[in-house]
Amino acid sequence: MRIIAGSARGVRLVPVPSGVRPTSDRVREAVFNTLGQFFDGGEVLDLYAGTGALGIEALSRGFDGATFVEKNGQAARMVRENLARAGFPEKGEVLRGDVAEVLERLVIEERKFHLIFADPPYKIPPREIGGLLERLAALLTPDGRVVFESGDPTPVLTTESLKGASRRYGGTVVTFLERSEEHTMKLAICPGSFDPITVGHLDVIRRAASIYDHVVVAVGKNVKKGPKVSVEERARLIEKVAGPLENVSVEIIDGLLVEFARERGARVVVKGLRAGSDFESEFQQAQLNRRLYPEFETVFIMAAAEHSFLSSSAVREIASYGGDVRGLVPEEILDTVRRLYVDGQAAASDRG
């Protein structure tokens, strides 16, 4: 494990001991991509701290101080060592004890935090989660955020005081919570088969990302027409081209779009329209989605004129015959698309 960005970028943390489940570098990077890359001061609270990687990452990116809460003595010592390695021995306070008891003390002391990380054991009882969230709300500054990690399925994390949206990264679900009376994160879903992603798709995703706080690109696993490559491969291609967009993440959807959106607290789906012929089917789908999820809105983004003729099916056909798809798919994945779709067609012919 290492510090990803900021003043301590590249610093390697101590090896993780047995029994400690740290937040992976990939999930940690995704979390800070959503929160923002760098910060102008503030205090961080890192609960169930483990290695302390989340709190130390926040210090590296500009927070003034961090309080770490950890019950395990070996893990508490590891946090102190990691603080020293990163050059923050004076900025970190390590409190050893039960999280519930420490939180009660912090509430009595009227401490306030701009950012709170909570990565409890995945089997924590629901009633305990509710009590935990109420205490966190009391410790949060008006414009602060709580980042709550959990397993799958996601526990119910909405309270009268805190509202949020969840995103899945592999087997980890991260929920970003804010005070309900404050501005809540505007989250949009951009679904599709993306078989493969085209420059037209990417243009719509970029434009959606400029409107909403976060965009989840939902890659369909069960596609009626039968995708040419696996959903995992399609998701990897999107991650590669959407990587520079800090408020975009990629997830695989296996089921109803409305259920996927509900799980993440999203109320908007973004669809690209190339021509009037697209509207009829999209209008019908939008009406069905509203029937299943009344708060769910469909927002249409008109394709750029230069992309109005472009579709994944056209790219697949051109690639299958060895045609040039340059300019039709993002340059970063051009060679991969050629390999996947030309080789895939050849392999299918051999099997036939």
Buried-state track 128-152, b at ≥16 Cβ within 10 A, e below 16: ebeebbebbbebbeeebbbbbbbee
Q: Are 145 and 74 in contact (CB under 8 A)?
A: no
- Partners of 270 in the β-ladder: 299
Other C-beta atoms closer than 10 Å to the C-beta of 336 total 16
Buried-state track 22-50, b at ≥16 Cβ within 10 A, e below 16: bbeeebbebbbbbbeeebeebbbbbbbbb
Q: Which amino acid is at 164?
A: G
201 among known catalytic residues: yes
**Residue with tokens 């949020």, as numbered in its chain:** 164
Annotated catalytic residue: which of 225, 281, 349, 351?
Answer: 225
DSSP 12: B
Q: Are 218 and 191 in contact (CB under 8 A)?
A: yes
Locate 148 and state its tokens: 């709550």
**Residue with tokens 């973004």, as numbered in its chain:** 270
225 among known catalytic residues: yes
Side-chain-facing half-sphere of 317: CA atoms under 13 Å: 5
Q: Are 199 and 327 in contact (CB under 8 A)?
A: yes
326 among known catalytic residues: no
Annotated catalytic residue: which of 60, 150, 193, 312?
Answer: 312
Annotated catalytic residue: which of 145, 167, 179, 201?
Answer: 201
186 among known catalytic residues: no
d(C-alpha 258, C-alpha 269), whole Å: 9
Locate 48 and state its tokens: 């169930």
Annotated catalytic residue: which of 274, 311, 320, 338?
Answer: 274
Q: Are 254 and 223 in contact (CB under 8 A)?
A: no
Q: Which amino acid is at 248?
A: V
Provide the terminal-to-terminal Cα distance of the chain, rounded to the nearest Å: 47
Q: Which residues are the active-site residues?
A: 201, 225, 274, 312
